Structure 1
Amino acid sequence: MSLKNYMEDVVVEIFEEFHRQHPEFCACDRCRVDTVAIALSNLRGRYAVSPEGEVFAKLSREDRQVRADALRMIIEAAKQVSQQPHH
């Protein structure tokens, strides 16, 4: 059985969009992973274990509120990481 948190895909995708628009935030491997991890820790996971669940999770990836929540968490996480980077 395979377990997947589709919020990770959403957060990574939105982080990439965010960084293109805000290059002032470091996106080295460590800062990127730290930012994504902090954002994911503050978001509700969206898990799927079946093909039907995968379809639902993929559809929810396009939900405006899900994407807005992810962006808000990425912004907060990027600010936090920039104040105390570990690179």
Structure 2
Amino acid sequence: MELARSSSIINSMEPIVVSFFEEQLLPNYQLKCNCDKCTTDIIVLTLNHLPAKYTTTQAGQAYIKALYMNPQMQSDILQELTRSIQIVEAKPQHWIADR
């Protein structure tokens, strides 16, 4: 089966996690390193530990975003972000990007 090139597959969790990281976590937590590599690693590690929510439409994205208004789901994101921050801060990889 070949996917049509015009259709896009979106992991709706990505903008949710990025938004939560930027709007909820960063104003309240001082990162040891806030370089692009470390912040991207935190977001990617978090996304790898949360269930992916794929959609192909904006309506689907809006529906999934609405689901994550639930306090328990927001708590799950915060918990994974906190865990990812601890991991990245313990072993930052930004020096690898400089090579």
TM range (shorter): 0.7 to 0.9
- Match for 2:18 among 12, 18, 21? 12
TM-score where L is the length of structure 2: 0.77
1:1-87 paired onto structure 2 within 5 Å: 1-16=7-22, 17-87=24-94
Contact 2:45 2:84 in 1 (8 A): yes
The 8 Å contact of residues 6 and 57 in structure 1, kept in 2 or not, is answered as: yes
Across the two proteins, how many residue pairs are aligned to each other?
87
C-alpha distance in structure 1 between counterparts of 2:45 and 2:81, whole Å: 8
> Structure 1-normalised TM-score?
0.86
| One-letter amino acid matched to 2:19 | E
Q: Distance in 2 between matches of 1:45 and 1:27?
A: 25
Aligned-residue identity in percent? 28
CA distance in 2, matches of 1:53, 1:31: 30
Name stretches of at least 5 consecutive residues in structure 2 with no aligned partner.
Answer: 1-6, 95-99
Determine which structure has more spread, i.e. the larger CA radius of gyration: 2
Task: Point out 4+ residue stretches in structure 1 off by more than 6 angstroms.
Answer: none
Which segment is superposed worse, 1-10 or 59-68? 59-68
